[in-house]
A and B are shown apart, each in its own frame.
Chain A
Amino acid sequence: MMLDPSEVENIAHLARLSIDAADRDTYARNLSAILAFVEQLNSIDTSGVLPMAHPLDTPQRLRPDEVTETNQRDQFQAHAPKVEAGLYLVPKVIE
């Protein structure tokens, strides 16, 4: 699967990654190589095989409905990039 630079742009946008224009071609090349490599999977017939999402065969454990966490806002926000009045600040979001 050959990816052209515009597809790389799309993927980078979906993943919110900035890519220098100069690097776009390299990324396209490398990503295409990786995709070509993984396309070996197409050579096998997997019809009827159940996808395996997990090595474990056990079901999800449940925890009791209890409040176990205390307020640690100060510790968590001690190294936050931008905080005011206990809120995390980001550039204004327009809705």
Chain B
Amino acid sequence: MEWEPVIGLEIHAQLATKSKIFSGAATAYGAEPNTQACAVDLGLPGVLPVLNAGVVRMAVKFGLATHSTVAQRSIFARKNYFYPDLPKGYQISQFELPIVYDGYLDIEPEEGSTKRIGITRAHLEEDAGKSLHEDFHGMTGIDLNRAGTPLLEIVSEPDMRSAREAVAYMKKLHTLVRYLDICDGNMQEGSFRCDANVSIRRKGEHRFGTRAEIKNINSFRFVEKAINYEIERQIDVLESGGAVVQETRLYDANRDETRSMRSKEEANDYRYFPDPDLLPLELDEGLIDEVAGSLPELPDAKKQRFVEQYELSAYDAGVLTATREMADFYEAVVAGCGGKGKLAANWVMGEFSGALNKAGFEVTDSPISAAQLGGLLQRIDDGTISGKIAKQVFEAMWDGEGDADRVIEKKGLKQITDPAAIEAVIREVLEQNPRQLEQYRNGQDKLFGFFVGQVMKASQGKANPAEVNQLLRQMLKG
């Protein structure tokens, strides 16, 4: 029996506006409880919502970047249910007429293969507050700072057929929203949340099986594990003659399993209807054109350009365009070293990224500027220092000792290229190692490396390796 998983993802991206979707309260993360919940957010008697222009622009940006239709007219609807973190007893969302629909995202689940994942719709809604269950002697504490934060709910078609595809899609979406500057993608802080709808059917079957919804998975790794677990679980259920229950489940990372959510068992009747406190949102061509004009170069286009312009492999281009900050940094480094794309790629992906990771920094936290790194690479390229010495210089620069030239000067790290000087070092090394010299001259070619090492050591690494090679060969001949 061949089973085929069918997966759709619903992603809630918090839009990175300064103020909330329907009120002028701040959206900054981490404030003291209820200090960023104004009267409108609290749902006090008599308050009314007014829509944030920045939110609309961000949604339009998203629609344009995903080849979607941006609705000229969309409606806000109330989703009615009772929960303490939902102050009004309804969430303002969009139901029948969302602002964006019918788009797609192309993903690369494996290198070389692409797949198109449909985006059914992306709609605007307000976030709820937070519940804190500990520390209140049997009660739950409600913080409404988050209530009213703008969300873009992005719903995919059930086009994914494996956890891997799901993760590829989620990552692509994550990169895109950050490129567009509409969401900071911080999964720990809850700015990017994923629900997965998973079902199983027999391969070749057209109808969909019953699906289970796995809620609130907040890392790529957990999404993969949760989906894989769920696929197995559903296969087990079906193969043992049972039926999959349509339900909501939570992923438990500690046990690596999904569990049914007790409280959401009853089907909710949300009684959607158009919110009478808001009017239909109408977007004119002018706004859409303006947003289109402000779109940055998107990840796919940038990656392609890097491959062509800097002659990089698709993989390298992919790594360097993972975030806009990294891509911009890279290009500035290239400019700073006179256009050496591959050299810059090696260093940015290698030493630089290594240092960032070790320090737990983002690109924007780097103590070395792109221009400075470019300057260092320039000195490798023009032979002032060797690649190996450059690593030393880099470390010193990272520690704040100034730019490349300064460090090289201060530490006297200039490469030795004068043949006479190198010859002198070689002569000394040969004199000090007569046994190896004889062995080499008797045919032990492998000792060449030994001599190179000794010369480099004697010159504190500063001798130009190519010259050392050339002169050493000559002088070893005798």
A interface residues with partner B (beta carbon < 8 Å):
14, 16, 53-54, 56, 58-69, 71-73, 76-77, 82, 84-95
Contact yes or no, B35 A71, CB < 8 A: yes
B263 at interface (Cβ–Cβ under 8 A)?
Answer: yes
Closest 5 CB pairs of A and B: A65-B54, A68-B24, A87-B141, A59-B282, A62-B53
Question: How far apart are the CA atoms of A76 and B271 in the complex, in Å?
Answer: 30
Known interface pairs A59-B280, A65-B52, A90-B84; 20 further A-B residue pairs with C-beta atoms within 8 A, sorted by A's residue number: A14-B271, A59-B281, A60-B282, A63-B53, A65-B17, A66-B19, A67-B18, A69-B23, A73-B35, A73-B37, A76-B42, A76-B44, A86-B35, A86-B143, A89-B136, A89-B140, A89-B142, A90-B140, A93-B263, A95-B262
Minimum Cβ distance to chain B for residue A55 (Å):
10
B55 at interface (Cβ–Cβ under 8 A)?
Answer: yes
B144 at interface (Cβ–Cβ under 8 A)?
Answer: yes
Q: Which residues of B contact A87 (CB under 8 A)?
A: 33-34, 132, 136, 141-143
Q: Tally of A-B residue pairs with Cβ under 8 A?
A: 125
Contact yes or no, B131 A93, CB < 8 A: yes
Question: How far apart are the CA atoms of A85 and B35 in the complex, in Å?
Answer: 12
Contact yes or no, A62 B52, CB < 8 A: yes
Can you give 15 A-B contacts (C-beta < 8 A)? A53-B276, A56-B279, A59-B281, A62-B53, A63-B51, A65-B19, A68-B19, A69-B39, A76-B34, A87-B141, A87-B143, A88-B142, A89-B142, A90-B142, A95-B133
Minimum Cβ distance to chain A for residue B336 (Å):
35
Question: How far apart are the CA atoms of A85 and B136 in the complex, in Å?
Answer: 10
Q: Which residues of B contact A85 (CB under 8 A)?
A: 33, 141
Contact of A67 among B26, B32, B140, B271 (CB under 8 A): B26
Given contacts A66-B19, A69-B26, A93-B131, whether A61 and B51 have CB atoms under 8 Å apart is yes
Mask, B1-35, CB within 8 Å of A = 1, is: 00000000000000001110001111000001111
Question: How far apart are the CA atoms of A90 and B141 in the complex, in Å?
Answer: 7
The total of chain B residues at the interface (CB under 8 A) is 53
Which residue of A has the minimal Cβ distance to B36? A71
Contact of A92 among B33, B37, B42, B133 (CB under 8 A): B133
Contact yes or no, B138 A92, CB < 8 A: yes
Which residue of B has the minimal Cβ distance to A58? B279
Given contacts A56-B279, A63-B53, A67-B26, whether A94 and B19 have CB atoms under 8 Å apart is no
Minimum Cβ distance to chain B for residue A50 (Å):
12
Which residue of A has the minimal Cβ distance to B262? A94
Contact yes or no, A60 B261, CB < 8 A: no
Contact yes or no, A59 B133, CB < 8 A: no
Minimum Cβ distance to chain B for residue A86 (Å):
4
Given contacts A63-B51, A63-B52, whether A89 and B19 have CB atoms under 8 Å apart is no
B359 at interface (Cβ–Cβ under 8 A)?
Answer: no
Contact yes or no, B38 A72, CB < 8 A: yes
Q: Which residues of A contact B38 (CB under 8 A)?
A: 69, 72
Which residue of B has the minimal Cβ distance to A66? B19
Contact yes or no, A66 B18, CB < 8 A: yes
Minimum Cβ distance to chain B for residue A16 (Å):
5
Minimum Cβ distance to chain A for residue B419 (Å):
66
Question: How far apart are the CA atoms of A92 and B269 in the complex, in Å?
Answer: 23
Contact yes or no, A91 B139, CB < 8 A: yes
Question: How far apart are the CA atoms of A16 and B445 in the complex, in Å?
Answer: 89
